[in-house]
Amino acid sequence: MADHLLLGLDVGSTTVKAAVLRGSEAVFTDYRRHNADVRGELKQLVTEIAARFPDTTFKTAVTGSGGLNVAQLMGVEFVQEVIASTKAIEKFNPEADVVIELGGEDAKITYLHPVPEQRMNGTCAGGTGAFIDQMASLLQTDATGLNALAAQYSHLYPIASRCGVFAKSDLQPLLNQGAAHTDLAASVFQAVATQTIAGLACGHPIRGNLIFLGGPLHFLPNCAGPTSAPWPTRSIPSRPLRTPSSTSPSAPPCSPKGRNARPTNCWPGSPRKCSSRSSPTGCVRCSPTKPSAPTSSPGMQPRPSHKGRWRPPPVRCSSASTPVPRRSRPS
């Protein structure tokens, strides 16, 4: 009698996966990169499974971002990847509250409790497996070598995580300055974590039991976080604030009315030769010299403007003034 097994195929953006189950027991699993040759690599994988389990009938289902066309060609059932992973978590890990999955070119976060909510970064490969591959090639290694380097870091550098182009522009100057590859590898993983929290969660708190899915988080343990010590945090030194008590002894005294009050050496009607910025004492510096009174005719007083500046008095003509004689045209 032929044996009946369950076959699950996951066709992703960069890898293909296969799992053969006998009941709830996994009897075969495989994970490999297809290098953009999805059909060729999948054909080789299915051939190996058929050779390992001869005379076997498989109940097959396909999932993944590139699995829809494969399922139509094979004539089998297609299950959307988010639904498939959520059902698997609810069956094998019902206590999970948040699921974070990093794929080859997308990232997803799923909140299961109290209300199911799913967010996906499918427009850009920042903070995904392709992002890690690009940074690893810049450090002249692969993803596995990047993980080994990150285990020996001592310092972290800020690296942009939303785009691989911006990350390379941050990483290349550090390489030129001689930064250690171990620190740069850990900084790349820190950028991935920052993108996951800032780009996917968008401020939504990540609490409770957390489940990690995806190749980068499974095969690169230091991407999920170092096991020996937590990530270090950079402390920003505090700067002393300037206060009136920290002024020099030679500073002029201040008016007790407050910072914006007129100092004691300013008086109404004085020329406002004051700087726009406050002095170190917090007072406005004014000229102590009293101006000379402008010349005016009797009975005419100068008037100050609303800004405290002197304006010349208006010209007023008297009705008793003698008219100026007109010059006659020469004959």
**Would you say residue 6 has pLDDT above 70?**
yes
pLDDT value of position 226: 57
The strand pairing partners of 120, in sequence order, are 108
Q: What is the pLDDT of residues 201-211, one digit of tens each?
A: 887 888 899 99
How far, CA to CA in Å, does 35 sit from each of 130, 140, 244? 12, 19, 67
Residues contacting residue 275 through CB under 8 Å, at least 6 positions apart? 284, 285
pLDDT value of position 124: 74
Domain chopping of the chain, boundaries: 3-79, 99-224
**Would you say residue 128 has pLDDT above 70?**
yes
Alpha-carbon 4 to chain mean position: 49
How would residue 188 be classed by pLDDT, with cut points 50, 70 and 90? very high
Q: Is the pTM of this model over 0.75?
A: no
Quick one: 120 exposed, middle or buried, by C-beta within 10 A (0-12, 13-18, 19+)?
middle
What does CATH list as the number for 99-224? 3.30.420.40
**The two structure tokens encoding residue 39:** 């059909």
pLDDT value of position 160: 84
What is the mean pLDDT of the segment spanning 310-316?
59
What is the mean pLDDT of the segment spanning 138-167?
90
Sole residue written with tokens 């069956």: 91
Length of the chain: 331
**Would you say residue 273 has pLDDT above 50?**
no
pLDDT value of position 105: 85
Could you give phi then psi for residue 55, rounded to 5 degrees?
55, 45
3-79 belongs to CATH 3.40.50.740:
no
How would residue 308 be classed by pLDDT, with cut points 50, 70 and 90? low
**Would you say residue 1 has pLDDT above 60?**
no
Q: Is the peptide bond before 158 cis (omega within 30 degrees of 0)?
A: no
State which of 124-133, 227-236, 237-246, 317-326 shows the largest mean pLDDT. Answer: 124-133
20 in the Ramachandran plot: left (φ > 0), alpha (ψ -120 to 50) or beta?
beta
Q: What is the pLDDT of residues 41-71, one digit of tens each?
A: 999 999 999 999 998 999 999 999 889 999 9
**Would you say residue 120 has pLDDT above 90?**
no
Q: Give alpha helix (H) positions in the chain.
A: 38-52, 67-74, 81-92, 129-138, 143-150, 164-176, 181-195, 215-219, 221-224
Query: Do the domains spanning 3-79 and 99-224 agree at the CATH topology level?
Result: yes
